[in-house]
Structure 1
Amino acid sequence: MSIQKIEPGMPESQSADVLADNVARLKAVFPELVTEGTNGPAINIDVLKALVGDATATDAEEKYGLNWHGKRAARQLALTPSAGTLRPCPEESVDWDRTQNLMIEGDNLEVLKLLQKSYAGKVKLIYIDPPYNTGSDFVYPDNFQDNLQHYLALTGQVEGGRKVTSNTEAGGRFHTHWLNMIYPRLMLARNLLRPDGLIFVSIGQREIHHLVSVCDEIYGEENRIGIVGRSMKTGGNSGKFFSPNLEFILAYGRSSDEAKGFKTRLSDALKEAVYNQIQESGSRAGQAYRTMGLYQASLTLGRSKNARYFIECPDGSKCIPPEGKRWRVVESSFLDMKAAEDIVFKQTDTSPLLDEHGKQSKWNIYTKIWLSTREEEGQIPVDILTKYENRHSAKELNELGVPFPFAKPTGLVRHLLEISQTGGDDLILDFFAGSGTTGHAVMAQNAADEAKRRFILVQLPEALDEHDEEHKASIEVCRASGRPENLVELAKERLIRSAKKVRSENSEWEGDTGFRTLKLAHSNIRPWVANTSDVAASLLGQLDHVDPGRNSDDVLHELLLKLGLDLCVSVLVRTIAGKTVQAVGGGVLTVCLDKVINVDEAEPLALGIVAWRKELAPAGDVTCVFLDSAFENDVAKTNLAAILEQHGISKVRSL
């Protein structure tokens, strides 16, 4: 048996090939559809028309839907695999060894491609607040040639200009730039959703109609859950004809039939804390209730003359609200509640009520509020949100000392987490993470209901502009914290500070408030670059495929991505035959990246790996990976591979 070397361009060296997967699925259902074209497998349109009927299949220009210049290229871009990787940055992380949360720095298009193998069909909820189309300073470019190259230019890793691409109306493509940006990202996001997964997209009025058309096409109109309005503020005088106070949230399910949620419920913890009394007898025996004062200080008498009356107390005395005040209900309603045993009398030294002599009463009176079926089973939420205005986010960011303009309030994201009925270890994704609102909200919600939701945040390292008045305070925070002056660093600082706040407000909660930082970069596997002036040097330089500037952790995380393993999966380390060996995910991936494996070391190394595999008993086939240049010669490589195969490990690869 020989060890297969992972070369650039192989499936194991790049992200998921969505296009190839789509062709394979079609071939599985309709084998006759797929034929051999000049560039590999191709779809025979004539056969497709024969299978579904000419009236159903069309490639005509005139058809219902939203079209714009560059749409085909945008779709193709989503289907083009990425050869990049995500480099781990433990020194920029919090609680690296234990956390299940990710903070990924880079162009979200490339990152979404890289996440396909590891997280396809695993995300419960996606919330994004993409940049609105303002007509200028458009951060995400419409250059579809090489987004990874663009990212590297932004971060100063290659020669290049600034990140900002002009997107003015004078360019003739006012909406096109924005649509070309959002379309491929929404396509890739759909693949990551679970069958019962949901996506929420915040959007302003300028692109709402276009975004609905795009999402209907990608997610299916039948899977549109709704369009929710959110009040950003009240008042103002900034608009041309109307002051813009409203924005929207589009909600789609991966499948509306599978989508779970859209009920606001009381959490078990809140029910226990609020509805903390149990009826002991009668027809409602065993039911939970809470009490509310029959008298409320805010209720004035006004015209409600019949809501002020004496009530007889258990000791025969009578009580009444203070002068000018009233009970919550009229006397006839009170008598009905008393007959139903829904009235509770409590003796107290601090009663606000008066007795029949005008002195302080010894009693206070309460009504029972029963835990309702609506609260148990859930209430359908409304499609207009007025409780989550921008001023709320400004206040909470100022309290954290991390000011940033136009951030969404955490209450909004927590509302979405609640109505979607997320819980357990559900995965939450935000690939326009901004200042980190979603990560903050997930931690706060976990502390409230003791769930273990995980988050993945993705954000471009967008530079904060010192000439922008609204960015100056954010820049000062970065400087004071010793951070580079960009949005990713501000988000990290916010996550750290919000974690401390959540913990201080929930002293007994021991949940996850850390995050692993990963950064988009070119692959660790070097492509072949021929030097015609020195062929010998080119050949010698290609003996080691791994970039010499990368370490073993870099390589390991690329293997996790390309082989489809969770980026927060557990990694065990053991020394076998003097070599460092890592067992990932309970042993489904075994990696040895030592730089030298001699002939006499091959057998004990292989047998040690076999023994460790038996000890771990992984669920599934094991993949073993080594550095190709580490083997002393072909004998060492062949012997190691043969021993592994004899013991049931046939998937052996080298880099």
Structure 2
Amino acid sequence: MTKVIPPMDSTSTDIVADNISKLKELFPEAFTEGKVDFDALKEVLGEYVDGRDERYSFTWNGKSKARMIAQTPSTGTLRPCKEESVDWDSTQNLFIEGDNLEVLKLLQKSYHKKVKMIYIDPPYNTGKDFVYKDNFKDNIKNYKEITGQVDGEGRSLSNNPETSGRYHTDWLNMMYPRLKLARNLLRDDGVIFISIDDNEVTNLKNICDEIFGEENFIGTFVVNAAPNGRDYGHIAKNHEFCVFYSKNISECDTNLIPDATKTFKFEDEVSGFNIHPLYNSNEAFHKGNRPNLYYPFYLYTDRPIKEFEGDFYEIGLDKTFNSIEVYPPLSQKNSVQFVWRWGKQKSIENMNQEIMGYKTSSGEYRIVQKMRTDEKLVRSIISGKEYTSRRGTSEVESLLGGKYFSFPKPLALLKTFVISGMQNDSLMLDMFAGSSSSAEAVMRINAEDKGSRQFIMVQLPEALDGKSEASKVGYKTITDISKERIRRAAAKIQAENPGYDGDLGFKAFKLDSTNIKPWELDFDFTAQDLEDQISNIKTDRKEEDVLYEVLLKYGLDLTLPITEHSIDGHKVFNIGMGALMVCLSDKISLEVAEGIAKLKEELNPEIMRVVFKDAGFADDVVKTNALQILKQAGIEDVRSL
């Protein structure tokens, strides 16, 4: 009997099935014959169940459908586009052209909890923005109709006028599933910045409180985007907003930003410094949950430090006759017992060098740290010429040579968020990329501090007005402008930094329907129809198209190194140094299986997975024996397309 190779799953992550699996792991007693028993689940959850008919909630027409859309797997894929890319073989950056809802679904396996920071500048819903309805049944077809890739049924790119009767509803239904999916990609220490204006800031805050949790709200930035004011009738608006959330506030990790105005009051042999209390003033960290950070210092009043002007004293962890015991103070608001920011070992290593005792003007004794950094916490009010919309417009105009994009975000604003929200080797996602200001910001900061931050840009190929200046010089869609901006910005950065060898490229991909043909014969099929079904790969697709669909379905990074091997005249793709081997040839021989087995021995990956075309073997006997050869080599995970 011919052994059947199990097929690969042809859809993206099934979020509902994944959630059910997690729920079953936590509460197995709430399941009966594989189904959720809600009465049993309520009993398990006890007092945490809110059964009231009237309770605080935020809802709108279509919210349930929006939630379902977020949970519906995608049958699409991302097709590589090498000719539009820069440094394809080496770059770790991605530019993806397509509907961000479907793209986010496709990224769920490969980039789950890998993104450190998300920045988005979505439609503000001013009545002129593009806000379209998602199609619950077939969003890939919907996407192609909207972007003019196939004939539609009268659907077109349009704005969302207030006269529609569903003005806020349509915007919420667009944003909700995208934010739900985006959250899955954030690391536990990740953050998200969302630019917005008055039109939807309240609704945005409400859906973010639900999706990210009220406790993870960090703050709202007020950006002076138009210092001279824009006339909206009765008021000249100067500002826009940016809401700031963490994935998990207890894990949240952010950075200080440069402070050009910083001056230092003191100086030692190392550098200038100011002083700052050593205790942690965040009530979330206290004696109850950080007992190792609660211990006494002893300030030696008979050992003043006279090197600096002020009442400074030597300190230690040992009590002496003339010492004063110093603990962290209580919080003034709730009398929470604060703790130190440093543990004992770090304090010992820096005693009387970076930390010392200090007597305040009110006579209190404190343990203080020398703060040498010329940095500060990011401020909630962001103002200055470099942060204006006019600056953003001039930056793109200077780079591209014309006014081809309206109101792009200025680099200074994006750089502020990138520095604050990212580590120097982490990943940033912008799913409303626009002109790709955020991509240029990442590349510029990398060039400045020699970091290795990466980005994923996602942008809908929205058609440009045929009468626009951009259209007249050859740009057809917003994605054309977006990609060209990255290319030119990269060239400029390289010219400004001749010796720089950082990543200034991107891999371009385009959203499309799956490469795999469904079995679609009916009773009237012809011999040619049957012949066409022998190969289940669509005729207009290349091997590389199929290869990257395999990577997505296996949850592998799209920037993993890929090498090619020729085994008995057949091309074998090696992804991630042997993590995955893919052969899409026809008439595969036993020598191919033997060659893959040999590669496993040479590369010695922790686990090797192999994918073939289902009809790719010379015959069923070869298929059966090939599977046996791979199994003997310790390769158990073999799949077919």
Counterparts of 1:370-519 in structure 2, within 5 Å, are: 373-374=370-371, 376=373, 378-387=375-384, 388-400=387-399, 401-403=401-403, 404-424=405-425, 426-467=426-467, 472-477=468-473, 479=474, 484-519=475-510
Deviations 1:326-365 (A, max 9, x none): xxxxxxxxxx99999xxxxxxxxxxxxxxxxxxxxxxxxx
RMSD in angstroms over aligned alpha carbons?
A: 2.7
Task: Say if 2:534 is the partner of 1:521.
Answer: no
Q: Distance in 1 between matches of 2:51 and 2:528?
A: 51
Q: Distance in 2 between matches of 1:501 and 1:541?
A: 49
Q: Distance in 2 between matches of 1:62 and 1:339?
A: 63
Q: Distance in 1 between matches of 2:111 and 2:522?
A: 39
Q: CA deviation at 1:631?
A: 1.3
Q: Distance in 2 between matches of 1:380 and 1:137?
A: 33
Q: Does the residue aligned with 2:236 lie in a helix, a strand or coil? A: coil
Q: Distance in 1 between matches of 2:31 and 2:128?
A: 44
Deviations 1:31-83 (A, max 9, x none): 122334xxxx5422211211122x53247663312100000000010000001
Task: Say if 2:82 is the partner of 1:90.
Answer: yes
| Aligned match of 1:147 | 139
Counterparts of 1:270-349 in structure 2, within 5 Å, are: 284-287=268-271
Give the one of 195, 212, 216 matched to 1:202: 195
Q: CA deviation at 1:110?
A: 0.1
Mapped contact 1:190–1:254 kept (Cα < 8 A): yes
User: Which amino acid counterpart does residue 197 of structure 1 have in structure 2?
Assistant: G
**Greater gyration radius:** 1
Counterparts of 1:21-420 in structure 2, within 5 Å, are: 21-36=18-33, 41-53=34-46, 56-58=48-50, 62-136=54-128, 138-160=130-152, 161-165=154-158, 167-236=160-229, 238-265=231-258, 284-287=268-271, 373-374=370-371, 376=373, 378-387=375-384, 388-400=387-399, 401-403=401-403, 404-420=405-421
Q: Distance in 2 between matches of 1:507 and 1:99?
A: 18
Task: Say if 2:634 is the partner of 1:634.
Answer: no
Q: CA deviation at 1:147?
A: 2.0
Mapped contact 2:133–2:174 kept (Cα < 8 A): yes
| Aligned match of 1:606 | 593
Q: CA deviation at 1:396?
A: 1.0
Aligned pair in 2 of structure 1 residues 498, 457: CA closer, same or farther (>3 Å)? same
User: Which amino acid counterpart does residue 635 of structure 1 have in structure 2?
Assistant: V
Q: CA deviation at 1:539?
A: 4.5
Task: Say if 2:639 is the partner of 1:615.
Answer: no
Q: Distance in 2 between matches of 1:170 and 1:647?
A: 66
Q: Does the residue aligned with 2:242 lie in a helix, a strand or coil? A: strand
| Aligned match of 2:553 | 562
Give the one of 621, 628, 632 matched to 1:646: 632
Aligned pair in 2 of structure 1 residues 178, 642: CA closer, same or farther (>3 Å)? same
Q: CA deviation at 1:374?
A: 4.3
Q: Distance in 2 between matches of 1:623 and 1:83?
A: 22
Q: Does the residue aligned with 1:205 lie in a helix, a strand or coil? A: coil
Mapped contact 1:65–1:213 kept (Cα < 8 A): no
Q: Distance in 1 between matches of 2:103 and 2:53?
A: 33
User: Which amino acid counterpart does residue 218 of structure 1 have in structure 2?
Assistant: I
| Aligned match of 2:281 | none
Q: Distance in 2 between matches of 1:44 and 1:573?
A: 51
Q: Distance in 2 between matches of 1:283 and 1:123?
A: 40
Q: Distance in 2 between matches of 1:254 and 1:489?
A: 32
Q: CA deviation at 1:287?
A: 3.0
Mapped contact 1:85–1:521 kept (Cα < 8 A): yes
Mapped contact 1:593–1:626 kept (Cα < 8 A): yes
| Aligned match of 1:575 | 566
Deviations 1:270-320 (A, max 9, x none): x9xx99xxxxxx98223369xxxxxxxxxxxxxxxxxxxxxxxxxxxxxxx
Q: Distance in 2 between matches of 1:237 and 1:646?
A: 72
Q: Distance in 1 between matches of 2:186 and 2:423?
A: 13
Q: Distance in 2 between matches of 1:437 and 1:570?
A: 27
User: Which amino acid counterpart does residue 628 of structure 1 have in structure 2?
Assistant: D
Higher helix residue share? 1
Q: CA deviation at 1:416?
A: 0.6
Q: Distance in 2 between matches of 1:112 and 1:19?
A: 15
| TM-score (normalizing by structure 1) | 0.79
| Aligned match of 2:5 | 4
| TM-score (normalizing by structure 2) | 0.80
Q: Percent identity?
A: 44
Mapped contact 1:265–1:375 kept (Cα < 8 A): no
Q: Does the residue aligned with 1:252 lie in a helix, a strand or coil? A: strand
User: Which amino acid counterpart does residue 613 of structure 1 have in structure 2?
Assistant: K
Mapped contact 2:123–2:129 kept (Cα < 8 A): no
Q: CA deviation at 1:473?
A: 2.8
Q: Distance in 1 between matches of 2:133 and 2:175?
A: 11
Q: Distance in 2 between matches of 1:13 and 1:578?
A: 28
Q: Distance in 2 between matches of 1:377 and 1:74?
A: 46
Aligned pair in 2 of structure 1 residues 337, 397: CA closer, same or farther (>3 Å)? farther
Q: CA deviation at 1:377?
A: 8.3
Deviations 1:564-608 (A, max 9, x none): 0110110011111221111101111001111222xxx31x22121
Q: Distance in 1 between matches of 2:135 and 2:613?
A: 36
Mapped contact 1:606–1:643 kept (Cα < 8 A): yes
Q: Distance in 1 between matches of 2:600 and 2:485?
A: 42
